[in-house]
Amino acid sequence: MSKQEKRRSSTRVGSSGLLCCAVAGQRILAGCQDSFIYECDTNTLSSSTRVSAHEGAVTGLRVYESQAISVGSDGCLHLWDCGQGGLSRLPTAKYSSSDVAITILDSDPQLKLALTYNAERQICLWDLRTKQDSAATFSLNAPIGAMSFCSNWQQICCGDSTHMKWYDLRSPSAEEIVSSCSIPGGVQCITTDDHTMLAGTASGHLHVLSCDLSQPAQQIVVEYGKNCAVSKVQVVRGTGTPNCAITSTALGTLQLWESH
């Protein structure tokens, strides 16, 4: 990414705040505070349909081909069919760890594993192939603002108000920090693309870092907008440093960016 990023389009969805989004072919799925998932066209960002998704806010979305998963403040994880016929919830695919609100979601690309973080600071690993409810993997001592699998799917990265911290799920003491680096401005969202990690902050910046924990963290910082928190970032195409990404903000706007 470079300072020549250009915004392509923008819109507002939902009646009470956009919390998460995911790209599904030619559509963007947007999860909102009002419990609905909205389907938007990727070119115009116009919203055509909405689906009631959770008993409360939709706090996380992930998509792979014609399948999607969502999590909400009701403590549940749902599986969806998001094929050309529109979004429909699979009737038997409902998971629940407790009634504690899930605030962060990540998954592997094929939606076989999911990682969640809830309001009690518990990180949970879900095996979506077994169709069994999750058990807490470990608990954190301090709250985080974002979390993501690393590219090897055996380590995770968490961002808080001052740092990015890496944990190893293979370790008997998974709660022990294996690496960290300073990120000013408060990490709000993280995503990985091959061996690159993107982190959006409350101060309105995107940080581009290497996922290689054997190397010092190299950062490229792109100013998104002063005092405009980046609540979500997702790569649309490309590998490494992406040439196209979608971001959303705490103000409830979706934005598409291109590098030149």
- At 177, phi and psi to the nearest 5? -75, 130
Tell me the pTM: 0.74
Which residue reads 């590098």 in tokens?
259
Q: Which of 113, 115, 117 lies closest to 129, judged by CA?
A: 113
Distance (Å) of CA 174 to CA 140, 224, 249: 10, 34, 31
Token pair of 246 as six digits: 């979608």
Residue 211 belongs to what domain range? Answer: 6-258
Contact predicate 259/2, CB 8 Å: yes
Which residue reads 């909205």 in tokens?
38
Would you say residue 1 lies in a domain?
no
pLDDT tens track, the chain, 260 positions: 444 444 445 556 656 678 888 888 788 888 988 999 988 877 766 766 889 999 999 999 999 888 999 999 998 888 898 887 778 888 655 666 568 899 989 888 888 888 899 998 988 888 887 766 665 678 888 899 889 888 777 888 899 988 888 888 877 777 788 888 888 888 888 877 666 777 888 877 777 777 666 555 555 565 555 556 665 555 544 434 444 555 555 555 555 555 44
Q: Looking at the 3D structure of the chain, how many domains does it have?
A: 1
Would you say residue 116 lies in a domain?
yes
DSSP state string for 7-22: EEEEEE-SSS-EEEEE
Q: Which amino acid is at 242?
A: P
Would you say residue 241 lies in a domain?
yes
Q: For residue 219, how many other CB atoms are within 10 A of its CB?
A: 15
Would you say residue 130 lies in a domain?
yes
CATH number of the domain that residue 137 is part of:
2.130.10.10
Would you say residue 154 lies in a domain?
yes
Q: Which of 204, 224, 236 lies closest to 45, judged by CA?
A: 236
Would you say residue 91 lies in a domain?
yes
Q: Which segments of 57-159 does DSSP mark as H helices, in order?
A: none
